[in-house]
Structure formats: C-alpha cells, structure tokens
Amino acid sequence: MMIRSSTDNQLYIKRDDLYPAVLGGNKARKGELFFCDLRKKNADYVVTYGTSTSNHCRAIACLAAQEGIGCRIISPEESQCASYNQDVVILAGAEIVTCPILKVSETIERNLQELKAAGHNPYFIPGGGHGNIGTQAYVEAYQEILDYETHHNMHFDYIFFASGTGTTHAGLVCGKLANGVSDQEIIGISIARPNPRGKQVVLDSITQYCGKSVNPEEVNFLDDYILGGYGKGEMQILPVIRRELLNNGVPLDVTYTGKAFYGMEQYLIKHRIRNKRILFIHTGGTPLFFGDMERLK
C-alpha cells in the first residue's frame, strides 16, 4: 500500500510484519517453508540458533508449539538479555541452551546427537532461516510484488529493506532474475555486516539457490548506514521511528526496519532520487518495536 513519504517520491510499503503467522515478519515467512520440509522428513524435534532478542527464534518456537513438537534453541550466553521475543520463546515452551559464542557449532552438533540418541528425529534450521529454503520464501514474496504491480498496472523503480544474513536479499534478486525484470534496483540496507563480506554472502546464497553465479552488480548491499553495528544508531533512528509511527501508523525498530528506513531515506536524498516509485519491505519484528518503547518515549 502507499504511505506518506518525507522525500519527493511515491512510497509504498509491503507489510510483511503483518504476515499472518507466529507474529509475522520475514522469519515467519521463512519458518513456514522450513516446517513444510520438516514434515516431509518426519522430524519430531526442531533445533535452531539465535540470540535472545531473535525474531527467528520466536517464529520457530511458535511454529514448533503449533506443530506439537519439541524445540531447542542454542543461544550465545553473551547475548542474554530480556526481550519480548525471548518471552514468547519461553511461553512457547522451547528449551534454551546457552553456550559461549565460540562453542555454538559444537553445541548444536552435541544437541542433535543427544536428541538422536534419545530416539528423536531432529531437524536443524540455520540461524535466521538462512539457506535455500529461506531464499525460496523471498522468491515467493517477489512474486507477490510482481502480482501487485500487474494488478495496479505500475512498476517499482526501487525496492529497499533491512538486510542481515542476506537470505531475504538473495530471494528477491533470484525472483527478479527469474522473471527477467531489468529496470529495477533492489537495495538491501545492511543492519550490521560490512562489505565486502556482506555482499559476498548474498552472492553466495544466490549461487547456491540458482546453481550458477550472477553478475555481482545485481547485488546492491549498502553498508553506509550500519551506524556503529548491530542494534546501534538510536540517535539517528529513534526520530524516524517516532515520525513513521505518527505519519503512517507503522511500527519500526532500531535494529532492523528503523535502520533500513533511515538508510533508504538517506540514500534517496544523497542520490537526489525524486518522482520514483519506491517499495519498502517491512520485514517485521513487532516485538522489538515494543521493546524499544522506553527509548522512544
């Protein structure tokens, strides 16, 4: 839908934060596809990885509860802090196993072995829903964007969103390439990772999904708006979050969507982009919005 823009462009927003499963967001979209695969493999336990504030862990813990299977979350002890996502994970009955960040892979391996030894058939989901299945979720989302364009007889010149592990980004680019769309820029605003690594991870995900490498110019992974790293930059972002809540009734958060929205606006101003059709994909994280409330007030 179209929303009020503070730059001279037509701004649209895709509300994936309202994606109708397990409190929404891109992790719910990816998570549902992982659970389709889990069912095919007759798994009866899910194991995944994430921090205590993770949207991914919240989505997976809720999906596991709905499925009626066990859920074990490996979480770095360095990241432990209270969050609404963590509350939901606990409410959903997931087991949280903490370990030092350097011991994450071996802890995952050990837990999978333990579950197997206890007669379970565990299914592992990479952190953030990374991998081909996660990429597939955003190839499908890209198709929804194409359908919207066809239905409304219009075309988006730019697509912006928060890019973390790069799976969302990879899916959108694969969708664009598969449909032969050329006059459109897909721009991921990095929320933490710097280049060249950030961009390389997106390229690797695309290669893994498509089975062939693509022109690196297809991937526009902007690390100009990291603002000091993961979860940082509240000085710049909080005013944007307040304004968007009041202007458009859209909840953004400091870590992901608020940072991406801020980065998008800065980019449009810096490159003097005007009179274009811009799509912002709201990738979710509503519990984080409420978590930021004390800082917002």
Site for ligand PLP, residues 106 to 145, rule: CB under 6 A: 128
Number of residues in contact with ligand PLP under rule CB under 6 A? 18
**Nearest-approach distance from CB 291 to ligand PLP, in angstroms:** 12
Task: Return the residue of 164, 175, 233, 291 that touches ligand PLP, per CB under 6 A.
Answer: 164
- The yes or no reply on residue 257 touching ligand PLP (CB under 6 A) is yes
Give the interface segment with ligand PLP, choosing from 23-31, 152-160, 241-249, 271-279 (CB under 6 A). 23-31
Structure token pair of residue 133: 């299945």
**Residue 222 main-chain phi, psi, to 5 deg:** -90, 120
- The residue (of 107 and 255) whose beta carbon lies closer to ligand PLP is 255
DSSP assignment of 169-234, as one string?
Answer: HHHHHHHHHHTT--S-EEEEEESSPPTTHHHHHHHHHHHHHHSS---GGG-EEE-TT-TTSTT--H
- The residue (of 9 and 205) whose beta carbon lies closer to ligand PLP is 205
- The residue (of 55 and 136) whose beta carbon lies closer to ligand PLP is 55
Rounded Cα–Cα distance for residues 286 and 25 (Å): 8
Strand partners, 15: 282
Task: Return the residue of 24, 25, 31, 233 that touches ligand PLP, per CB under 6 A.
Answer: 25
- The residue (of 107 and 168) whose beta carbon lies closer to ligand PLP is 168
Residues in the chain: 297
Task: Return the residue of 167, 223, 237, 287 that touches ligand PLP, per CB under 6 A.
Answer: 167
Rounded Cα–Cα distance for residues 72 and 178 (Å): 36
Counting DSSP H helices and E strands in the chain, the numbers are 11, 10
Strand partners, 48: 73, 125
Strands of the 277-282 sheet, one edge to the other: 2-3, 10-15, 277-282, 158-163, 185-190, 220-222
- The residue (of 115 and 205) whose beta carbon lies closer to ligand PLP is 205
- The residue (of 158 and 289) whose beta carbon lies closer to ligand PLP is 289
Spatial CA neighbour of 55 closest among 37, 35, 73, 38:
73
- The residue (of 172 and 268) whose beta carbon lies closer to ligand PLP is 172
- The yes or no reply on residue 198 touching ligand PLP (CB under 6 A) is no
**Nearest-approach distance from CB 152 to ligand PLP, in angstroms:** 25
Site for ligand PLP, residues 266 to 295, rule: CB under 6 A: 283-285
Binding mask 40-69 for ligand PLP (x = CB under 6 A): ---------------x--------------
Task: Return the residue of 9, 26, 48, 132 that touches ligand PLP, per CB under 6 A.
Answer: 26
The residues, ordered by sequence, that sit 6+ positions from 3 with a Cβ below 8 Å of its Cβ are 11, 12, 13, 247, 248, 250
**Nearest-approach distance from CB 67 to ligand PLP, in angstroms:** 21
Residue pair 159/188 in contact (Cβ under 8 Å)? The answer is no
Q: What residues make contact with ligand PLP under the rule CB under 6 A?
A: 25-27, 55, 128, 162-169, 256-257, 283-285
